[in-house]
Structure 1
Amino acid sequence: MQVIHVVQGEHAIHDHPDVVLTTVLGSCVSACIMDLDRGIGGMNHFLLPDAGPGGPDIRHAAAAMEVLVNGLMRRGAARGRLRAKLFGGARMMAGLPDIGQRNADAARRFLQDEGIPLIASDLCGTQARRIRFWPVVGRVQVHLLGEARIAVREQPKRHPAGDVELF
């Protein structure tokens, strides 16, 4: 198995069945977008919800999402078959602006505006996450990292070890 780590401001696209894409997220968000009929998928990792005065930058939600979608289509994915899963957006520090929530909202808004169905997500809360994504089959494994720092109102259902499998 080949593991490709996607860091902040980057993305990766693959169509080989032995590849897994990984990342670690705090307030950042990753979109895992795939065309399962074509057997291709990709992951991005963005830091901020809005572009700054310098214009589009792949560290920001809209640019990162656009680059991923366009890259998938250049490699043979069909726009109408794209499906998305979103992860991250944690509130890592109480008392500071909730960038994680804003990142999550920006990613959801992009998908809605582009007509790409969101089929699974694990967003917000207070814990960092390690994501593993098998792009050819669309499988995602989420592992929570560390302890919660502020109260969480709602928790998704998890396996006893803190992992979530999203197929």
Structure 2
Amino acid sequence: MIREPGSTVIHVVQGEHAISDVPDVVLTTVLGSCVSACIMDPERRIGGLNHFLLPDAGPGGPDIRYAAAAMEVLVNGLMRRGAVRSHLRAKLFGGARMMAGLPDIGQRNADAARRFLQDEGIPLIASDLCGSQARRIRFWPTIGRVQLHLLGEARVPVREQPMPQRGGDVELF
């Protein structure tokens, strides 16, 4: 936990979530192809943020690194802390395509999060998903405010070309 003047900042890393009803708490995370849901109950003034890595559940049962488990854990945690399910509202962020030429995990993460919200009847009121830029988000869970900062555009990986050999020498770079 990092302290800033006048607020408590909680950084949420991959496979984790945080919930708060304390007005001076700010939840933060940095996202590439991962997705975070900021879900809040504006009437009870409580909210939470998760950070999941992959769209589909792996072997071995529920794992909060995967979309459905991460979303369910966050929603259930909010309700245990006093949120009312019918009051919940969501904002989604992340899902960038970070490496050209590889499968688009970010798009699949975004689709999985949207599908969960739709299946659970939780309105999606804002989102910034996909594209090719990483994001840093800051979420004030009691008021539902999100600050988004784009971090830079993903680049196509450079393919190294072998250096020409001269005589019996090999040039290293």
Q: Does 1:6 align with 2:46?
A: no
Q: Bigger radius of gyration, 1 or 2? A: 2
1:134 is aligned to 140
Whole-Å separation in 2 of the counterparts to 1:85 and 1:115:
14
User: Superposition RMSD on alpha carbons, in Å?
Assistant: 0.8
Residues 72-151 of structure 1 mapped to structure 2, 5 A cutoff: 72-149=78-155
How many residues get paired? 150
Q: In structure 2, what is the Cα distance between the partners aligned to 1:64 and 1:140?
A: 19
1:58 aligns with 2:64: yes
Q: TM-score by structure 2 length?
A: 0.85
Which secondary structure does the structure 1 equivalent of 2:91 belong to? strand
Q: Percent identity over the alignment?
A: 89
Deviation for aligned residue 1:53: 1.6
Structure-1 residue corresponding to 2:51: 45
Paired letter, 1:97: P
Runs of 4+ in 1 over 6 A off after TM superposition: none
TM-score, with length taken from structure 1? 0.88
Distance 1:117 1:142 in 2: 20
- Structure 2 gaps of 5+ residues are 1-6, 157-173
Deviations 1:62-121 (A, max 9, x none): 000000000000000000000000000000000000000000000000000000000000
Q: Cα offset for 1:12?
A: 0.1
Structure 1 gap ranges (5+): 151-167
- Partner SS, residue 146 of structure 1: strand
Using the TM superposition, give the Cα deviation of residue 149 of structure 1 relative to its aligned residue in structure 2, in angstroms: 2.7
Amino acid at match of 1:17: P
SS at match of 2:78: helix
Q: 1:97 is paired with a residue of what secondary structure?
A: coil
